[in-house]
């Protein structure tokens, strides 16, 4: 049985953007270990990776976004992003600035 369409798209996305995702993987690991020290690089490289993932997510779901398949399209998008989160668990933190609040 062939892999699901979202997995095929995810694999193709990674193949066509090997350098970007290899760099993001390296920075992602550094950010996981030493957060603040690599925060700027994580956000800079991460934004490029997130833009690529969003673009491929749109390609996957664009035709289904209208009509009766809109609910299916949303679930498909979630599955696609879950594939990204398996490899990059902190991908949702790209672009998020955390400030310490003094109490």
Measured at the CA of 92, the angle between CA 35 and CA 50, to 5 degrees, comes to: 105
Q: Please report the pLDDT score of residue 74 as a whole number.
A: 86
Q: Please report the pLDDT score of residue 38 as a whole number.
A: 93
Report the distance separating Cα 87 and Cα 80, nearest Å. 12
Q: Please report the pLDDT score of residue 72 as a whole number.
A: 80
Q: Please report the pLDDT score of residue 66 as a whole number.
A: 64
- Higher-pLDDT residue of 66 and 29 is 29
Q: Is the pLDDT of residue 14 over 80?
A: yes
User: Exposed, middle or buried by CB within 10 Å (0-12, 13-18, 19+), for 23?
Assistant: middle
Q: Is the pLDDT of residue 100 over 80?
A: no
Q: Centre a 10 Å sphere on the Cβ of residue 36 and count the other Cβ atoms it contains.
A: 8
pLDDT, one tens digit per residue, over 25-63 is: 999 999 999 988 999 999 999 999 999 999 999 999 886
Q: Please report the pLDDT score of residue 67 as a whole number.
A: 63
DSSP label of 84: H
Report the distance separating Cα 42 and Cα 98, nearest Å. 13
């Amino acid at each position: 049985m062939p892999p699901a369409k979202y997995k095929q798209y995810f694999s193709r996305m990674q193949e066509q953007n090997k350098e970007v995702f290899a760099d993001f993987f390296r920075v992602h690991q550094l950010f996981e270990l030493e957060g603040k020290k690599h925060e700027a690089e994580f956000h800079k490289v991460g934004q490029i990776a997130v833009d690529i993932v969003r673009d491929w997510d749109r390609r996957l779901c664009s035709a289904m976004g209208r009509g009766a398949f809109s609910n299916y399209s949303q679930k498909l998008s979630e599955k696609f992003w879950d594939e990204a989160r398996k490899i990059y668990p902190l991908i949702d933190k790209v672009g998020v600035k955390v400030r310490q609040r003094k109490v």
